[in-house]
Structure 1
């Protein structure tokens, strides 16, 4: 859009700042003007109407004539009138003022932001050196070089190429054998075959999983103060496998955002949804679980926007975005897509474990059914239990509700609670057509494998898993509260806070006391209450209150009443067994008799010796790992999403529906308005951002800087692409090649652009430095996948952490696994990783910052890990049969890939001789350097010292 020619009231202003305008190209709005307006003007004159001043909006074309005032104000002599105001502390440079004047003089043409329009299919540009390109990508680079009067750099030598490729594709340097194989390969496609070999290596998935884990804020703990452990490493393994299998990025996205919603979702697709279970969880005392669930949702929205859209959407949580066209309301409309899931824990039985479980369970049943029992003892048991058994009638509610979440009636007439929980949960029930003269009520707390630790409670964070705490139970009839005279339980935790846990404590009117069966998770418990008077009406209302400093409501339970005369007590017997015992024998069928007999065999004290063999079988039952996943709530119980004023949890406003960002293509009409539809929208080829954002991150990883320097910001304040034509071509090519990361990487890696000689390099990541050290020293244990491990580190690092350090050093080869598998404790990151700028994994990170500190040099020199690696390298060198100069060259090449030049070789020979002499003379203590070596201590120490020098070189920790 253009405002047309503007008639200037003060043409002299233009003359002051513009000399020979015609000699210069018109400023480009995208590249030159919008960044200036965004950084200096949009805060007060941008999309946010609440903070917009002077009714002037500059992110869209303003009314005609207003831009003339802009020129006046940016050049005003009065400090109270100049724009931007001096209080903003963002003054315009003279060059920026000149650009604005030139742009206005040329007609002040506005164009849509480059990132919000679809990538354009550019034709290959014309070039003057057609022999240089290796593939189409090179045309865009060469055309730009030629336009600037430059020429490409020559191709790097093979030593540099194999080191560069190895570090870029598998994250570790090549071995001596791999170097020799490539350098001596005389076939014309040697380089391409090397690329293919590395892409096929399992280490490829390990290396490229790392940046994705940064985006996903993956960690092995919950974060915040308590930072307790969680099990989500199976998701990390899924990422490695998906990358190795080259799962198309669109499918990679869909499975992580909504894999559970795919038709007949597999276990693998459910594991994939762990992406958004990586949010932190607050377990501090006194917090509101619903509040921190809200902030977890905020994190998910922000992470999604950064990872797939390259947008700083978090600004719109509290207000309309100051720079990008994201209304405050749109932030919550996007949240609505993600806000309808529950967060279960998934048990991961392997096919072998499932088979073994079934076999063992059948063996248990078979042995139980054939256990010999003393018939007289069994008859006595039946008689004894029958005498004290009470006939209970299970009651079915005509209405039931929870304050949040919902309740379901199961086939066995038990009730199952679903949805969210809070610190103050309430279940309400109405019952009609009850038996006459009810004298007591029974509540059975039932185990269920769907609940934390098997239930019966729903406590998961902060409190004991599977626990519940019934604060109060109240029964009303005809508007009157029914008096309860006694209450018993078959089990209660001895002390809860300052009071004893019991059934009677749940009817004392005090929410701070109650009944808990903590410590009996995964088992049946029950409480029984006697009414002061038999109930004369057939309808009652029942309320269960669960109030604790953590979520502690019941997950599965059954309610029953009796009309028998008291007294009666809670029993260890399950309700169905007690009901069978109340029947006369002639009223029991064979199935009933078998059930009673089996219960006796499994539980009676008289049979404990006979059951010893069966207990051993129970121990053989496999215990599968678990992982955190997402599961969509049913349509009948959708969670409502509100806009939150100023982004505050306690300030919900109007309800919003799921909608995509208004400046991007709409969601396809055929797509559902839920997580699955949203996932498909993210990778819809019509979405102008996702493919660009992904290929830009790949480019940044390979070249040290993205085509868009701000890899996490494609908005108005982000950097303009250094080569938009190339970026768009890569984005389109990525989609055309089926969203294949391996194919787009191969395209870049086999280009002449990538193979150029380079005098500049960038430092390896923290993980690459450690892994490279493990690799060259032959310490690396290359097992793929599995649980996180604990490499050695100083115990004092855990001091001051809540609960102390839980860092228990792994044994054996697990100490030497790749850094990808190092346990990630958010409040206590692995020290060496933190020293070299690894993130804390608390929030999404699209690009790591790189610092340069003395601590890094001291770590490389003195950390016991690097000393151990130096000793291992020294041992290897000592064991070589060749003369020293050959071993020196091999050691150098092992660490740095290339061979030393004459000066370097001479320096190392000299260092070796001088160091050996110092050890021989006793000036230096050889045993300190050699460690526990059993060979020639002085020789071992000398080689260790030389290895230590090589591991401390700039070249070792740098990718050329």
Structure 2
């Protein structure tokens, strides 16, 4: 009976919803839209353009091949011009909605005249129609896309404007912008986080590792609140900082230790990865960091470090299969470099213009192949080299490249380790094959049409005549202070690293279809300030971290659950799950297992058996097709150094949303799946870490009443509450008694892992090990808050 009643209620609800929909309740006349207050001044970029982009540009946008009725609405001159198919009529007549044909079409009751047409499944709600009407009444002012306008350092908002909301809250200019936005929405910021939370937060953000217990005690004894600037400087000067920053850049650069495609054999690119670590630790200015990677080989008197940096351009997948059409794949490699530049550095979807004019952004197919031309001169012979997989040649740990000689032939940079005389080949750039670039019909390698010269979209920034038309000139264009994207995109990415999402949520798409910035003036202020301070990454990170916005508590207050559930207005600190690499490194660090060695060849930690064999085609080629875990200290290197095979990335990291690295990624998704819990429960690395921690604690004090408390503090960097401690202590003592009656199971459990065993009580070890594993499985442990 109850199930029948429930079904009846559901069906009646669906009928009611259908009735409301047919009556125009959703997006068609619903009171919530008709009564919603319009802004005093309608802004083209933030109010009108998103409506036109979502509903009109498919048929009336930049793509000439798909344009209908000859009408283009993304440009002022065509939106105001006479309709080609209707003389005497105009799409938009400023100040006169009644004579503006697009407005008449969007409010039409005639299905044959209504725009967007009903069969498009697109529609404007009442609020959007009212916005367009008011915009036209206000003169229909057009603007260049917000992200293509050079950023400006606008006046910092006055703190007094929100005193009633905030009191005296705020540390720097960032807070003034955030506070103004909160005040506009009737919200107040959160209180400052505890010292323990801030120490852990700053350490994770700057090193990717939890702070060491002795460091936490030192900071707490001194008073972390007054010591935050020094604490930030100390973490920024740690070698682990460069590793943490490099981890994110590897996704952008699509770095891997194998070629990809079907054979997916080894490559040696780790010296480039080590150079990136070095560059971040040396705080290389971002404009120089980009210039060396894009065009280091073209710099006057280029040295081996500058040439090595250009391996960035050759991190893409490469086929070594027989029978392929070489020109097809060569073209694919150049396409990849072009797309990586677009998404990874400029934050635009250049790839959408490979086959036709961009449907939404003012980027033509010709623009695309003009960008393509910058990368089309490299001698691709180097892509067919046989890489040497060197072991234990960590020449980068000391002053870089001082023990290496260089040979540069056909796009391969060879390093010779003078201590062992072993050559290590790395693919780099070498423009030794001048070739004409053609616009490719539909983007197909074998359908060339018009020839094109290297160039850039004028909608973003025209390419200056005085710049050389090669990658060196491209790098100068990218880092020109008039370029509206480069600094904005990088600042936004660093913000996303700290806050979980950027001021522009779509970190790889600053175009018309991308998200609008939540705090546009703040983003622009930071971008200009970053350039004014010589593109200094450490300066920018410290600036953000010293803000009261960054130092807030992350607790969700009741009023925010409805006013700002996604924390877009920043009334609290974010709380989000760490990456798979950070989780593994966190566990290794807190257990005492982490090997802090910097650089060198990639290593193979534990991995379920048989996976590599399943993903390899063809005959068994030994080490290339079978996964053989390393031994000793190499098992416990940072996850940054884990061997990355494109056809099978590290499984425990993939489960936590790591990409394949087949192409550039700038922001990982964050999912929550049962497989993640199973990794934390059953992975050998987690179990071994818990065992090593338990044996370490028991060796130091087998009868200490504080064993569980100390494990808790070591993992979570805080003191447990009374209920937490009582619950975990009960579990520990109960489990000890359980294993006292079954020592065989205890001995079997504590035998996990390759790390050396210590002579400890098996029952206590197993019990404390499982207690540590419970804490490792807590949501708080794998979350940065």
Fold agreement, TM-score > 0.5: yes
The partner residue of 1:57 within 72, 81, 102 is 72
Instruction: Give the match for residue 22 of structure 2.
Output: none
Confirm or deny that 1:251 pairs with 2:288: yes
Q: Which runs of 4+ in 1 moved over 6 A?
A: 13-23, 345-358, 451-455
Q: How does 1:282-681 map to 2 (within 5 A)?
A: 282-343=319-380, 344=382, 450=409, 622-633=421-432, 638-681=434-477
Q: How far apart are residue 28 of structure 1 and its match?
A: 2.0
Point out the more displaced range, 192-201 or 918-927. 918-927
Instruction: Give the match for residue 208 of structure 2.
Output: 171
| Post-superposition CA distance 1:775-828 (Å, at most 9, x none) | 011110010000100112112111322255332211210111001000110001
Instruction: Give the match for residue 777 of structure 1.
Output: 591
**What SS does the corresponding residue of 1:654 show, helix, strand or coil?**
strand
Q: How far apart are residue 846 of structure 1 and its match?
A: 0.7
The partner residue of 2:196 within 159, 162, 166 is 159
Inter-partner Cα distance in structure 2 for 1:103 and 1:202? 54
Instruction: Give the match for residue 772 of structure 2.
Output: 947
Does the 8 A contact of 2:411 with 2:430 survive in 1? no
Q: How far apart are residue 356 of structure 1 and its match?
A: 11
Q: How far apart are residue 924 of structure 1 and its match?
A: 9.0
| Post-superposition CA distance 1:662-714 (Å, at most 9, x none) | 11222333221111011111011110111100000000110111111111111
| Post-superposition CA distance 1:472-504 (Å, at most 9, x none) | xxxxxxxxxxxxxxxxxxxxxxxxxxxxxxxxx
The partner residue of 2:506 within 710, 715, 718 is 710
Inter-partner Cα distance in structure 1 for 2:413 and 2:224? 62
Confirm or deny that 1:870 pairs with 2:684: no
Confirm or deny that 1:48 pairs with 2:63: yes
| Post-superposition CA distance 1:165-193 (Å, at most 9, x none) | 11100001111101101111148741111
The partner residue of 2:731 within 902, 911, 917 is 911
Inter-partner Cα distance in structure 2 for 1:17 and 1:102? 18
Does the 8 A contact of 1:356 with 1:622 survive in 2? no
- Residues 904 and 641 of structure 1, relative CA distance in 2, 3 Å threshold: same
Q: How far apart are residue 949 of structure 1 and its match?
A: 0.3
> Pairwise CA RMSD of aligned residues?
2.9
Q: How far apart are residue 927 of structure 1 and its match?
A: 2.2
**More helix by proportion, 1 or 2?**
2
Inter-partner Cα distance in structure 1 for 2:456 and 2:450? 18
Confirm or deny that 1:727 pairs with 2:727: no
Q: How far apart are residue 752 of structure 1 and its match?
A: 1.3
The unaligned stretches of length 5 or more in structure 1 are 1-12, 359-447, 456-618
Instruction: Give the match for residue 84 of structure 2.
Output: none
Instruction: Give the match for residue 272 of structure 2.
Output: 235
Confirm or deny that 1:38 pairs with 2:38: no
Q: How far apart are residue 735 of structure 1 and its match?
A: 0.4
Does the 8 A contact of 2:367 with 2:457 survive in 1? yes
Q: How far apart are residue 123 of structure 1 and its match?
A: 1.3
Number of aligned residues: 693
The partner residue of 1:957 within 765, 782, 785 is 782
The partner residue of 2:748 within 923, 928, 953 is 928
Does the 8 A contact of 1:17 with 1:98 survive in 2? no
Does the 8 A contact of 2:33 with 2:125 survive in 1? no
Q: How far apart are residue 453 of structure 1 and its match?
A: 11
The partner residue of 2:610 within 796, 806, 810 is 796
Point out the more displaced range, 58-67 or 191-200. 58-67
Q: How far apart are residue 855 of structure 1 and its match?
A: 0.8
Inter-partner Cα distance in structure 1 for 2:636 and 2:403? 33
- Residues 18 and 824 of structure 1, relative CA distance in 2, 3 Å threshold: closer
The unaligned stretches of length 5 or more in structure 2 are 1-27, 82-89, 93-99, 556-573, 752-756
Instruction: Give the match for residue 125 of structure 2.
Output: 93
Confirm or deny that 1:281 pairs with 2:318: yes
Instruction: Give the match for residue 679 of structure 2.
Output: 859
Q: How does 1:804-819 map to 2 (within 5 A)?
A: 805-819=625-639
Confirm or deny that 1:786 pairs with 2:600: yes
Inter-partner Cα distance in structure 2 for 1:115 and 1:15? 33
Inter-partner Cα distance in structure 1 for 2:744 and 2:139? 77
- Residues 657 and 199 of structure 1, relative CA distance in 2, 3 Å threshold: same
Confirm or deny that 1:69 pairs with 2:101: yes
Q: How far apart are residue 139 of structure 1 and its match?
A: 1.5
Point out the more displaced range, 80-89 or 197-206. 80-89
| Post-superposition CA distance 1:915-944 (Å, at most 9, x none) | 122222339932233226642111111101
Instruction: Give the match for residue 542 of structure 2.
Output: 746
- Residues 895 and 305 of structure 1, relative CA distance in 2, 3 Å threshold: same
- Residues 22 and 746 of structure 1, relative CA distance in 2, 3 Å threshold: closer
**What SS does the corresponding residue of 1:625 show, helix, strand or coil?**
strand
Does the 8 A contact of 2:379 with 2:411 survive in 1? no
Rg: which structure is higher? Answer: 1
Inter-partner Cα distance in structure 2 for 1:659 and 1:263? 22
The partner residue of 1:898 within 718, 728, 736 is 718
Does the 8 A contact of 2:203 with 2:235 survive in 1? yes
Inter-partner Cα distance in structure 2 for 1:692 and 1:299? 23
| Post-superposition CA distance 1:565-594 (Å, at most 9, x none) | xxxxxxxxxxxxxxxxxxxxxxxxxxxxxx
Confirm or deny that 1:757 pairs with 2:553: yes
- Residues 183 and 645 of structure 1, relative CA distance in 2, 3 Å threshold: same
Inter-partner Cα distance in structure 2 for 1:48 and 1:168? 42
Does the 8 A contact of 1:134 with 1:751 survive in 2? yes
Does the 8 A contact of 2:260 with 2:662 survive in 1? yes
Q: How far apart are residue 21 of structure 1 and its match?
A: 9.9
Instruction: Give the match for residue 115 of structure 1.
Output: 147
Does the 8 A contact of 1:929 with 1:945 survive in 2? no
- Residues 452 and 50 of structure 1, relative CA distance in 2, 3 Å threshold: closer
- Residues 288 and 30 of structure 1, relative CA distance in 2, 3 Å threshold: same
Q: How far apart are residue 155 of structure 1 and its match?
A: 0.8
